[in-house]
Structure 1
């Protein structure tokens, strides 16, 4: 009896689609904020957005789906492209809280498109495009890192602070242990660059991180001016 290649093909396609759907599930989000003073104080430097120099505050880098084992999905739906009309009502907040500092100077669309297509498409089972960006903006409102650090007398004044004190201040202010990423300036000083906090798959609630990113920080790190 000859095999039914049409049926076999259909079964293989169904298997592939099933595997694809499973691969797009995720366990939690990293909500990542970056300090512009550290982003700009590197060899690559930075370019201010076309709207002008951002305020001296942590800006959103992204809301990134992750797995509990430390891996992550990316570029999950090539057909779901960034559509700026979806966030037209959020544009003022996006410019303020999610500015692009990459060169050349831009209006942010390239940055936001990258974040949606690489990370946001992997969260479509939970959040559509507008909800994805809106969720990140709400998290930014909820987590005022600069004020939390200032309350602990940790200021962006080019001074050096202990990594432990920075981490403890953020944990006290949010209730959860942060992941802290550093970069190095041209003088090889370790600088406070990015802060990771973990959020459940709905994007609504902070949770304790199942796994924290590698910090690449010294025991004392600089909080550069911006």
Structure 2
């Protein structure tokens, strides 16, 4: 397992110029313009969903708008929450003093499961000892304590699933690289169909982004016993000081094992890959949670 520190960004750095490695992948058909105040005009050209652009700069520390380079058009401004930002090949946590990105609030009631139309992500991390005690110790993930279950687009209430995507979005992927965090052919196929199709990213971009979030975290080695939810969350925070308790969801009783056993930890991220508070939490764990070992 990779044991990397969560990257730290200082607010003063958030609106500086960036290197050629910085990219912005459009997840919505938002307008772009030469000046920010022109973005409210009608009949503007829009971003191509799934297209990756070079990022140049942001308008302020809150990163409300990003300036991107569009081939054949030039350098333009667009809203940052209209896509996914990848900076220097790492996924960033929010800097001190920066405000959360502004986002349309979607829900199942007003949305028809359209790719790219969601509010934030949950990165679901499966605790392998519990999974393997229930499913059998010959499962591919049983040699590791944690794997990625999936990266799930979320509405502020509910979530989309099985979104329609054009054939060109189902591009080739490098399974050898994906197996480093998701060692299951079935899971790779299932998670793309149910969740990845709603991300607004191509299949390869979706798994690249999932891998970046995985690499940005350092996960705790848990001992067996009973622990409070606060104790488990604090074990995660101790490894990742930039996280806060309201960014971490615990999931219990996902399988057929004993009641109130830890199955997963889920961490919430903005579309840009910045850790943020979850707006909706699963309540499947009791006050004290069992952690089992193989």
2:118 to 4, 21, 26: 26
Matched, 1:144 2:237: no
Preserved CA contact (<8 Å) 2:226 2:291: yes
Q: Residue 77 of structure 1: CA displacement?
A: 1.2
TM-score (norm 2): 0.54
- Corresponding residue for 1:163? 229
Aligned length, in residue pairs: 180
Query: Is 1:48 the equivalent of 2:117?
Result: no
**Residue number in structure 1 paired with 2:286:** 218
Does residue 115 (structure 1) correspond to residue 199 (structure 2)? The answer is no
Partner of 1:77: 164
Residue 5 of structure 1 corresponds to: none
Give, in whole Å, the separation in 1 of the partners of 2:197 and 2:254: 31
Match of 2:243 among 162, 175, 186: 175
Structure 1: which 5+ residue stretches go unaligned? 1-18, 101-107
Match of 2:121, SS state, is strand
Q: Measure the CA separation in 1 of the matches of 2:257 and 2:127.
A: 18
Tell me the TM-score normalized by structure 1: 0.68
SS at match of 2:179: helix
Paired residue for 2:179? 95
Work out whether 1:134 is the aligned partner of 2:134: no
Change in 2 beyond 3 A, CA 1:222/1:82:
farther
State the distance in 1 between where 2:278 and 2:126 align: 18
How far 1:136 moved relative to its partner? 0.8
Give the structure 1 partner of residue 70 of structure 2: none
Distance 1:224 1:116, change over 3 A: same
| SS state at 1:225 partner | coil
Give the alignment's Cα RMSD to 1 decimal.
2.8
Where relative contact order (Cα < 8 A, 6+ residues apart) is larger, the structure is 1
- Give the deviation of 1:139 after TM superposition: 0.9
Describe the SS at the equivalent of 1:207.
Answer: coil
Give CA-to-partner distance per residue, 1:87-112, whole Å, 9 cap, x none.
Answer: 22xx3332231123xxxxxxx1x221
Q: What 5-or-longer segments of structure 2 have no aligned partner? A: 1-110
Provide the C-alpha distance between the structure 2 equivalents of 1:41 and 1:207, rounded to a whole number of angstroms.
Answer: 32
Evaluate the alpha carbon distance shift between residue 80 and residue 180 of structure 1 in structure 2; reply closer, same or farther with a 3 A threshold. farther
Encode CA deviations 1:167-194: one digit per residue, 9 max, x unaligned.
2332452422210011288773522211
Offset at residue 46 of structure 1 (A):
6.2
Task: Give the conservation status (yes or no) of the 8 Å contact 2:115–2:165.
Answer: no
Alpha-carbon contact 2:123-2:150 (below 8 Å) kept: yes
Distance verdict in 2 for CA 1:93–1:120, change over 3 Å: same
Q: SS state of the match for residue 189, structure 2?
A: helix
**Per-residue deviation at 1:78?**
5.9
* Kept after mapping to 1: 8 A contact 2:131/2:255: no
